[in-house]
Amino acid sequence: GDNAYWLAIWFTNSKDTTVAWTANRDKPVNGHGSRLTLRKDGALVLTDLDGSITWETNTTSTDVVMAELLNSGNLVLKDSRGHILWQSFDFPTDTLLPNQFFTKNMRLISPLSPQLFASG
């Protein structure tokens, strides 16, 4: 709908702005009242207006102290020593960025269309 939002990383250093990664690709949230929270248990959680969890990282480490978007386009969760405990590069959607690894257990799934981000 008109008020559907995604947690996404955009690649803007090109002629066409490209969505490089989307967390909640098939479950957009309401733009009014949705929240992105780094919980004490180490999970980064996206909740909708009603408080329901739409997306979350699979981290359960109380060592997570921060979320950071790196210049590479990689969204990471780090511990106090700066070690990466979770990274968006491990969960590609439909685009690979420079220096992003792609292993045999990963998949790229195209969107329905350039304007509709849901899985195709």
Fold assignment, 4-90 = Agglutinin, subunit A (2.90.10)
Domain definitions of the chain by residue range: 4-90
| pLDDT tens digits, one per residue of 53-83 | 999 998 888 899 999 999 999 999 999 999 9
Q: How many CB atoms lie within 10 A of CB 21?
A: 24
- Residues near 120 by Cβ (< 8 Å), separated by ≥ 6? 109, 110, 111, 112, 113
Mean pLDDT, residues 18-45 taken together = 92
CB 36 within 8 A of CB 24: no
Angle at the Cα of 28 from the Cα atoms of 10 and 98, rounded to 5 degrees: 25
Give the tokens for residue 50. Answer: 């009603």
- Residues 54/48, Cβ–Cβ less than 8 Å: yes
3-class DSSP assignment, residue 90: helix
Widest Cα–Cα separation across the chain: 42
> Per-residue pLDDT averaged across 89-116, rounded?
87
SS3 61: coil
pLDDT of residue 97: 83
* Residue 7 CA, distance from chain mean position: 6
Phi-psi region of 104 (alpha: psi -120 to 50; beta: other; left: phi over 0): alpha
